[in-house]
Amino acid sequence: MIYLKSDNTDPAYNTALELFAFNELAEEDDVFYLWINRPCIVVGKNQNTRQEIDQHYCDDHDIQIVRRISGGGAVYHDLNNLNYTIISSEESQADFDFKSMSQPVIDALAEMGVEAYFTGRNDLQIGDQKFCGNAQYIKGNRVMHHGCIMFDVDLSVLSKALKVSKDKIESKGKTSVRSRVTNIKDHLEDKSYTVEDFAEKLRDFMDKKYNMKEYKITEEDEKKIEEIMNEKNKSWDWVYGTNPDFSIQRNRRLPSGKVEAHINVNKGHITDMKFFGDFFGVKDVDELAHKLIGVRYDKKSIKEVLDQVNIGEYFLNVSNEEALDILVD
């Protein structure tokens, strides 16, 4: 088995390295990959990013948003979260078993005196609390199994970054199931353990079992990883543009009255919009709505349009910032 460890905490890089390992390294042997991300949210392939996160909070706290190639729900990562990936080739899809691929984590924790177990569809728990969610990507007879292990994650940030929007969103995307969660460190007798210590423990366990050989990334590899990054998580189209079609209704109380915006979005772009409410204005708001058709549904793109008009003519005594808040976080 090949052992791969990333010293980079950029989630865009680490997800690209993971896909590189799946496409290239797994041609030679099975792969075990460990990685840690700086604060970010990783959404599942089939999810609506807007529906899963508090975009405003994430922007204010420099929490990066990326999308993985596997299904499942959105997860929050920080520097005290350990991610592991097992890439293997199996003879049949019956061998793509979440439970058996999660067993190394359970066994490693048992050696540390923590009893964990597999439960439900794809989770690992201690007691009745979840500490690791797992997902899989399958192509041909090759499977990528990865898990997000909460070692000492800041739960206060997690709960805010993944806070469900108060806006009414109707989407065809898969939504996350919110669960009671816990950190591994809370269950360890030795509180001096760090996430790096745990990573070493898990690596040692896998090495004893599979006699792993560490792989060093080459300059040629880095070029391929950069190409994947540019195609995937450095691309707005991948992170937001691949959102399932959705509609959103936003309600705001402004100085000129209540405003309700009904917005339809397709492939990350506004396709239809209507304003309703008891607000006052000089110009017909349908004119403003028309200007926003075809625009990316993100704060920067919408702001660029609003900056080119006199917002006060559509919403009396309303600033550009207030108007922007009507439409997007």
**Host domain of residue 147:** 2-236
Question: 268 and 230 share a domain?
Answer: no
Residue 237: name the closest of 321, 298, 162 by CA.
Answer: 298
The CATH number for 311's domain is: 3.30.390.50
Give the CA count within 13 Å in the CB-facing half-sphere of 80: 15
204 inside domain: yes
Structural domains of the chain, count: 2
| C-beta neighbour count of 8 within 10 angstroms | 16
Alpha-carbon span 228 to 12, nearest angstrom: 9
The CATH number for 179's domain is: 3.30.930.10
Tens-digit pLDDT profile for the chain (329 aa)? 999 999 999 999 999 999 999 999 999 999 999 999 999 999 998 888 888 888 889 999 999 999 999 988 889 999 999 999 999 887 645 455 677 778 888 888 888 889 998 887 678 999 989 999 888 888 888 989 899 999 999 999 998 998 766 665 566 565 555 568 899 999 998 889 899 999 998 999 899 888 999 999 999 999 999 999 999 999 999 998 888 888 988 888 877 688 889 999 998 999 999 998 878 788 889 999 999 999 999 999 999 999 999 998 888 888 999 999 889 98
Residue 131: name the closest of 105, 101, 111, 162 by CA.
Answer: 105
pTM for the predicted model, two decimal places: 0.81
